[in-house]
Amino acid sequence: MNIIEAIILGLVQGLAEFLPISSSGHLAIAKELFGLDDVGLAFDLLLHLGTLVAVFVAFYKDIWELIVEGCGIIKDACINIVYWFKKKAGNNEIEYVKVVSTPYRRFVMLVIISTIPTGVMGLLFKEIFNLDNPILLIPAISLLLTGCLLLLADSMPSGKTTEKNATYLQGAIIGISQGFATLPGLSRSGTTITCCLACGFEKKFAVKYSFIMSIPAIIGANILELGDLAGTGISSQELIYYIIGTVVAAISGYICIKTMLVVVRKNKFKYFAYYCFAIGLLSGIVYFVK
């Protein structure tokens, strides 16, 4: 790998992770078309780290509040366990503490519930499909499907659901949609935002929820891949290129998050849909003529 390739893949990851055009699909296509088969797993993990940094910077206030309220959930749950034992001992005057008592505690629970089906489906799909080295046909078909989802999203009005009144069933449904988006070429952000809008989410909250719920999914996926790094050596020159790609992914990802807030609000998904149709068709043609 050289510095130009590192920058290109960093841009692809940062732009495609948060714009609704699928980072996994574009990375697979880029590696196939430019002959970047020598790119190691460590670089892919660092690129995802870069996009995680972008999410943390863009939503740092919300994420900090979620961390604080998440700790509060654990504390109150432990208190209730102690109260349960006291009630068993005969002290029935004690009242249990309400654990999910604020909108952000509900937000925490929604993200947890969404993460469960995503994790299960991600593991299942990895067994069914070779997601580490996908053939070009899978991203091609998935990109065409992404285009259809984006056109659907453009036709949906903004709902009124936020962290204050979203249901756990809605969280599970959105988690399932994110699970399907583990397929290369099916945009995670496009799929989950479309699902959020279909569930009646307010548009700004749909974008926020989509990106914040990606944090445990990306971290979990990277943890599962850490075992594959054993025995892989990285030279000092490669490490520099990897860091450059990671920084590019973080900066471009942050810009794209801010862009998506405008895209969803102004119903501009159709332009990304047309792009996905074009790239999907091109990828399919390349696959059949190679």
What would the two tokens of residue 166 be? 């979203």
Q: How confident is the model at residue 76 (pLDDT cuts 50, 70, 90)?
A: very high
The mean pLDDT value for 218-236 works out to 67
Q: Is residue 29 part of a domain?
A: yes
Q: Supply the pTM of this predicted model.
A: 0.83
Higher pLDDT, 13 or 136: 13
pLDDT at 167 over 80: yes
Q: Is residue 66 part of a domain?
A: no
Q: Is the dihedral of CA 48, 49, 51, 56 positive or negative?
A: positive
pLDDT at 125 over 80: no
**Tally of helices (H runs) and strands (E runs) in the chain:** 12, 0
Higher pLDDT, 11 or 232: 11
**Coil, helix or strand at residue 91:** coil
Number of domains in the chain: 1
Q: Is residue 50 part of a domain?
A: yes
pLDDT at 135 over 80: no
Give Rg (Cα) of the chain: 21
pLDDT at 130 over 70: no
Out of 118-127, 176-185, 281-290, the most confident range is 176-185
Q: Is residue 75 part of a domain?
A: no
Q: Is residue 155 part of a domain?
A: yes
Higher pLDDT, 240 or 195: 195
Helix axes 137-154, 188-198, angle to 10 degrees: 30
Q: How confident is the model at residue 34 (pLDDT cuts 50, 70, 90)?
A: low
- Give the total residue count for the chain: 290
pLDDT confidence of residue 230: 54
pLDDT confidence of residue 81: 94
Q: Is residue 83 part of a domain?
A: no
Q: How confident is the model at residue 132 (pLDDT cuts 50, 70, 90)?
A: low
Q: Which amino acid is at 15?
A: L
Higher pLDDT, 258 or 112: 112
Domain that holds residue 48: 3-59+105-289
Which residue carries 């091109």 as its tokens?
282
**Lowest mean pLDDT across 25-39, 46-60, 114-128, 214-228:** 25-39
pLDDT at 136 over 90: no
Give the list of residues 6+ apart from residue 205 with CB closer than 8 angstroms, or none.
161, 162, 163, 196
Q: Is residue 145 part of a domain?
A: yes
Q: Is residue 282 part of a domain?
A: yes
Q: Give kind and range of the element (H or E) at residue 184.
A: none
pLDDT at 231 over 70: no
Q: Which amino acid is at 47?
A: L
Helix axes 168-180, 103-128, angle to 10 degrees: 30
Higher pLDDT, 113 or 88: 113
Whole-number Å distance between alpha carbons of 192 and 196:
6
Within 93-235, where are the H helices?
A: 103-128, 137-154, 168-180, 188-198, 203-212, 214-226
List beta partners, residue 161. Answer: 201
Helix axes 103-128, 214-226, angle to 10 degrees: 40
